[in-house]
Amino acid sequence: MGFQHCYDKLLEINPKDAAAWCSKGDVLFENGNFEEALRAYDKAIGINPKDETVWNNRGLTLVKLNRFSEAIESYDKAIEINPAVEKIWSNKGLALVRMKQAEEKIDLQKITSVPEGKKESLEHLVMGNTMYSMGMYENAIDSFNKSLQIDSGNAIAWNNKALALAKSGKFDEAVVCYDKAIQIDPNDYVFLNNKGNAFYKKGNIKEAMKSYELAIKLNPESRTAKGGMEMCLKSLKNQENNGRDR
């Protein structure tokens, strides 16, 4: 109750603090108080409906309450706000699996307004994310390829294909796909972070740092980019120390 009490005090002072409502929801969620957590997330959304994290956490809470269709609607809202966050797609995929809807057509109009001819591409994209969330990376790659055959200009499909390739250990191919995504949307720092992660896992520290540096320029608050830079600097320092020991 300690942390919850702190947030209650903060909200007494400023009941319009959306971040405090979200944090209170997180504490309630961790304590298993899902109904109360849901009310806290709803309060946060009422104040700031543009925060994808709150919509995602609301979806997680609704899944715990077995309210799957409502959870998927929350994930869709989060994706609409920021479609580049991998964990939201994965969470939606898991909710779809729980509903036994993985092979059913999805109302993609809830994700975003798209031209009629591209709806099939997005269906393959969502199926790919579902496969990814289940750890079926080759199936995910196949779905992303089908999506890209219809709409090769979809940066999210290139990014998510790269994520699946990276999970399969195919880092060189993943980097090529990240480059495609970045070429389409050069202002998306998430793609650069993901590319940096691929380079880091491949052992190419200097190239990883370049990607993280570009991500930080686009978003100085990116925790992933800052954490990536710290990992790179530690790796370089370890390499330097190992070189001295020889």
pLDDT in tens, 61-88: 999 998 888 898 899 899 888 877 777 8
- d(CA 228, CA 199) in angstroms, rounded, equals 11
Q: Which residues of 51-83 are buried (b: 16+ CB within 10 A; e: fewer)?
A: bbbbbbbbbbbbbeeebbebbbbbbbbbbebbb
Other C-beta atoms lying within 10 Å of the C-beta of residue 3:
14
| Average pLDDT of the residues in 96-101 | 62
The pLDDT assigned to 223 comes to 77
pLDDT at 55 over 90: yes
The pLDDT assigned to 245 comes to 55
CATH of the domain spanning 187-246, picked from 2.60.40, 1.10.10, 1.10.150, 1.25.40: 1.25.40
The pLDDT assigned to 238 comes to 82
Which amino acid, one-letter code, is at 10? L
The pLDDT assigned to 113 comes to 44
**Residue ranges per structural domain of the chain:** 187-246
The pLDDT assigned to 195 comes to 95
Q: How far is CA 241 from CA 136, 199, 214, 232, in A?
A: 40, 22, 27, 14
pLDDT at 106 over 50: no
DSSP reduced 3-state for 105: coil
pTM for this prediction: 0.60
**Which is more confident, 23 or 107?**
23
- Calculated CA dihedral for residues 202, 203, 204, 206, nearest 10 degrees: 140
The pLDDT assigned to 103 comes to 35
pLDDT at 108 over 60: no
| Average pLDDT of the residues in 220-232 | 86
pLDDT at 34 over 50: yes
Most confident of 105-109, 190-194, 241-245: 190-194
The pLDDT assigned to 246 comes to 54
